[in-house]
Amino acid sequence: MALRLNTQKTQRSYAKFIYIIMKIFLNIVFFRYLFYLWWQEYACFYLTKNISLCILLPLVIINHKELETLINFAKSSLPKECCAFLIGTNSRDEVIIYNIVTLRNYDESIFSFSIDPQDLFFGYKQADQLGLEVVGVFHSHPSLPFPSSKDKKFMRLNPFIWLIYSTVTEEYKGFIYRQQIKEVKLHIIMG
């Protein structure tokens, strides 16, 4: 009888221990989140006096298959630059690319690209039909994967994700305009 009571007591104190650990863990998560919001919204700017340091850049998530399709599209369009819309979801800290819409390079150029208004309309319509939004644009470069002066001008007008693939070095990089042009982190999902 005494042994049974002791076992019950041990089980109860074990459950209490787990409960306390969980409570501490949830409190840490909650306060870390509050601190994060406070830092983003108020503290960062007052302490650094530099708005660009406080800007939260989204993490861009793309599936390996979509990325491969874009790369193959760029290679098959050579020597011309190619372009495509990136379609997905957009939140404060994350951009997820679910789909792509390949577009015609209206410039037919090896050094620049532009999108015909009709194709623009088609791209936005495609995104809308999928219940998604146009979250960025992809294009290729016959040089390094960094925005050209023309790109920079249009990045200011279209502050979404700009994914650039170099057909020379076979590198890709993502950028966004947030007060200034910044490189974003790309996360490639396999499978």
The one catalytic residue in 66, 81, 94, 133 is: 81
Per CB under 5 A, the list member of 151, 155, 161, 172 interacting with Zn ion is: 151
Q: Look up 171 and say whether it is catalytic.
A: no
Which candidate, 133, 90, 140, 137, places its Cα nearest to that of 110? 140
Contact 100, 138 (CB under 8 A): yes
Pick 96 or 174: Cβ nearer Zn ion: 174
Question: Which ranges of the chain does DSSP label H, i.e. alpha helix?
Answer: 2-38, 44-48, 51-54, 64-76, 117-129, 149-157
Q: For the window 94-113, what string marks contact with Zn ion as x by the rule CB under 5 A?
A: --------------------
**Can you tell me whether residue 92 is helix, strand or coil?**
coil
148 binds Zn ion (CB under 5 A): yes
| DSSP 3-state of 44 | helix
Minimum distance from residue 162 beta carbon to Zn ion (Å): 8
Tell me the site size for Zn ion, rule CB under 5 A: 2
* Active-site residue set: 81
| Binding stretches for Zn ion (CB under 5 A) | 148, 151
